[in-house]
Structure 1
Amino acid sequence: MKKLLFLVLAGIVAATTAPALAQDTIKIGLMCPLTGSWAAEGKDMKQIVELLADQVNNEGGLLGKQVKVVIGDDGGDPRTAALAAQRMATRDVAAVVGTYGSSITEASQNIYASANIIQVANGSTAVRLTEKGLPYFFRTCPRDDEQGRVAVKTLLDSGYENIAILHDNTTYAKGLADEAKKLLDKEEDVNIVFFDALTPGEQDYGTILSKMKTKDPDVVFFTGYYPEAGLMLRQKMEKGWDVPFIGGDATNNPDLVKIAGNKAAEGFRFLSPPVPGDLPTKEAREFLDAYEARYQSTPGSIWAVLAGDGFRVIVEAIRQTESTDTQKMADYLHDEMEGFPGLTGDIAFNEKGDRIGDVYRVYRVDADGNFVLME
């Protein structure tokens, strides 16, 4: 009888204290690729957001509560992302950061929109993501139409006339390839001698490289991701084909050099917002110092740092509105956030949820595998 009474009392205590404990935290979700070919990006995203959450908690929390990061692994795959978003939407999160990869983000967009959850993407640059009129979608990264303009300027300034464009049929890569082609088609002295797609995740791109080589391009503009770019750089060197490659911003990851090797990667150029080491702000320097002290390394690419900016703007919206109400936070981000000191520079959003005023740069891989900003 005593045992039964104890169990009943324990159940009552648990039932009454569980909601109170839940109310002591503010949950912010993070969707990232912890598995799959983009796991390096996901690892950095997780480490950055957890570091920033700890800093918020060490400074007293948010609205008098501790922040808890809820992780969802999207696997770098649209189907996995949709399932991860469905689970995340049931976990009482105030907002969600992520993810990396436009097609992966697109698979989650409508799920979060239907659940009235703010989503702040960090590496999803496809134009159409913010052309849908979703009121709770934002991104801290720039758009591909801007990247397309910078890509074309880089190609023209380099004097290339016969250009091959290679993508991978993902939302991001195909969109960027189309943007570049549309602009290049207006140039009288430029010929698009090749426009096609590879299949991501393969281990041998000899066939597509040979196919491009027959078209004798002056340059290859590859709009896909760093694993495939690194592999092609190595394999074209093995074939003795010395055509220059220029990559889009999804090739900005140190693993590109690990895959290709320093010799094959040397001279490769890519477009990107500033890499972490080139970030000029006080906030960035303090953050990078804290990251290195905790993890004994620096973030691999800018996209993970942009996830940190996503977390920071969510925290700022909650602070300024003194609320986790989705509509109040969204109104603040759309209409009132201006010049917020992000890790990657000042942040504001337009009516579509796009970041205002970010600028692409051109980087070159040197002989030691370093990413060097080109003036």
Structure 2
Amino acid sequence: MKKLLYFALALSLMLGTAHTAQSAKIGLMGPMTGSWASEGAEMKQVVDLLAEELNAKGGVLGAKIEVVSEDDGGDPRTAALAAQRLATQGITAVIGTYGSAVTEATQNIYNEAKIIQIANGSTAIRLSEKGLKYFFRTCPRDDEQAKVAAKTIEKLGVKKLAILHDNSTYAKGLADETKTLLEGNKDLQIVFFDALTPKEQDYTAILTKLKETKPDLVFFTGYYGEAGLLLKQKKEMNWAVPFMGGDATNNPDLVKIAGSDAAAGFYFVSAPLPKDLPTEEAKAFLAAFNKKYGHPPNSIYPVLAGDGFRVVTYAMEQTKSTDPDKIAAYLHNELKDFPGLTGKISFNDKGDRVGEVYRVYKVNTEGQFILEP
């Protein structure tokens, strides 16, 4: 009986090894449900398409790529559970996720499991200040975003500025960074700095407080759902003050929520939209995406997730390994100017993307996002 048990165990291990040789697993964690579901759905479309294209060319290291997806719901607690599930699936790396607070809830889980994590929309500074060996991101940091935001505010000739955030890791961090940069400007006064409560349906009370300070511009550093409601409700109040947002307001749903009339004139700072990506790699990918799904990507963050998938599979090929230590070392020290969909990609020793990425957009009267010169 014991011999039979040992034989069965050995056979199962052999079969498991054979299965591993036939496929390599990459995790995808994104908000498939919840307030940011449009981002998560498109993240999955992008990564699935890239995996399909890569597998058609033979996969990686002779193995087909299998994408294992988990829904984080845009919620830190849900994300921690999703990360724990992914960590037991034999994945080499995980792509995602979108929100900074959501990513922060998963970082230690992946780091302790020695799983490469490449975030695509998590820009909070502190995420890469923890010395985590396996953490990377294809999106830039909020201190870089704050520099562009501050320059734009000054360029617009703002004298009285209101800054509104939502107390999230991302929004509060961007608000603080921008405030610090502008405090040295003697020609500009910050007349309001406070937070709203996210996911509410009525922001007239805080809009009324903002209006009383008579700002020339309101800089809202939160997400597109709240931004859309703010724009809609300030128009209903007949308050014509211009608003500006950070990169988390870069989503077509902003216009759907606000209405094109209310959204017109809204500025936001962001990585380039898919339609404005200049590289040949991006043009080829966008054509393939459009052919498969019948429309181009709506948001840049799923494309940044695609870049995460592309750099990690490239690193696997270059190191001829799925060893996380070898992949991390390669991404930190040897990957230089990789031709990403969103531009050249290199990482510093903290796992941050190197180089300037942010641009300024303005919403026109048709609700289109137009790149500012």
Query: Which TM-score band applies after superposition, normalised by the shorter structure?
Result: over 0.9
Instruction: Give the distance between the partners of 2:212 and 2:87, measured in 1 at CA.
Output: 50
Contact 1:273 1:358 in 2 (8 A): no
Question: Match of 1:325, as an amino acid?
Answer: D
Instruction: Give the distance between the partners of 1:39 and 1:340, measured in 2 at CA.
Output: 29
TM-fit CA distance, 1:12: 9.6
Instruction: Give the distance between the partners of 1:350 and 1:284, measured in 2 at CA.
Output: 23
Kindly report which structure 2 residues correspond to 1:115-264, keeping only aligned pairs within 5 A, or say none: 115-264=113-262
SS of residue paired to 2:192: strand
Kindly report which structure 2 residues correspond to 1:205-354, keeping only aligned pairs within 5 A, or say none: 205-354=203-352
CA deviation string 1:131-178 (max 9, x = no partner): 111111000001110111111111111111110000011100000000
In the alignment, which of 32, 36, 45 is matched to residue 38 of structure 1? Answer: 36
Question: Match of 2:99, as an amino acid?
Answer: G
SS of residue paired to 1:307: helix
SS of residue paired to 1:76: coil
Instruction: Give the distance between the partners of 1:16 and 1:152, measured in 2 at CA.
Output: 59
**Aligned counterpart, 1:84:** 82
Instruction: Give the distance between the partners of 2:337 and 2:116, measured in 1 at CA.
Output: 20
Instruction: Give the distance between the partners of 1:231 and 1:34, measured in 2 at CA.
Output: 22
TM-fit CA distance, 1:300: 1.2
TM-score of the superposed pair, with normalisation by structure 1: 0.96
Contact 1:337 1:348 in 2 (8 A): yes
**Aligned counterpart, 1:104:** 102
Question: Match of 1:38, as an amino acid?
Answer: W
SS of residue paired to 2:18: helix
TM-fit CA distance, 1:22: 3.5
Indicate whether 1:53 and 2:36 are aligned: no
Question: Match of 2:327, as an amino acid?
Answer: M
SS of residue paired to 1:164: strand
Question: Match of 2:108, as an amino acid?
Answer: N
Contact 2:144 2:356 in 1 (8 A): no
TM-fit CA distance, 1:356: 0.6
**Aligned counterpart, 1:3:** none
TM-score of the superposed pair, with normalisation by structure 2: 0.96
Contact 2:166 2:172 in 1 (8 A): yes
Contact 2:361 2:370 in 1 (8 A): yes
Question: Match of 1:332, as an amino acid?
Answer: Y
Instruction: Give the distance between the partners of 2:214 and 2:181, measured in 1 at CA.
Output: 21
Equivalences, count? 367
Contact 2:172 2:221 in 1 (8 A): yes
TM-fit CA distance, 1:21: 2.1
TM-fit CA distance, 1:23: 3.0
In the alignment, which of 51, 64, 67 is matched to residue 65 of structure 2? Answer: 67
TM-fit CA distance, 1:19: 4.0
TM-fit CA distance, 1:14: 7.0
Instruction: Give the distance between the partners of 2:117 and 2:92, measured in 1 at CA.
Output: 10
TM-fit CA distance, 1:274: 0.7
After superposition, the Cα gap between the structure-2 partners of 1:329 and 1:16, relative to the gap in structure 1 and judged at 3 Å, is closer
RMSD (Å), alpha carbons: 1.5
Question: Match of 2:165, as an amino acid?
Answer: H
350-359 or 270-279, which moves further after superposition? 350-359
After superposition, the Cα gap between the structure-2 partners of 1:98 and 1:211, relative to the gap in structure 1 and judged at 3 Å, is same
CA deviation string 1:15-45 (max 9, x = no partner): 7534422331100001100010000000110
Instruction: Give the distance between the partners of 1:18 and 1:352, measured in 2 at CA.
Output: 35
- Identity fraction in percent: 63
SS of residue paired to 1:303: helix
After superposition, the Cα gap between the structure-2 partners of 1:136 and 1:11, relative to the gap in structure 1 and judged at 3 Å, is closer
Question: Match of 1:202, as an amino acid?
Answer: E
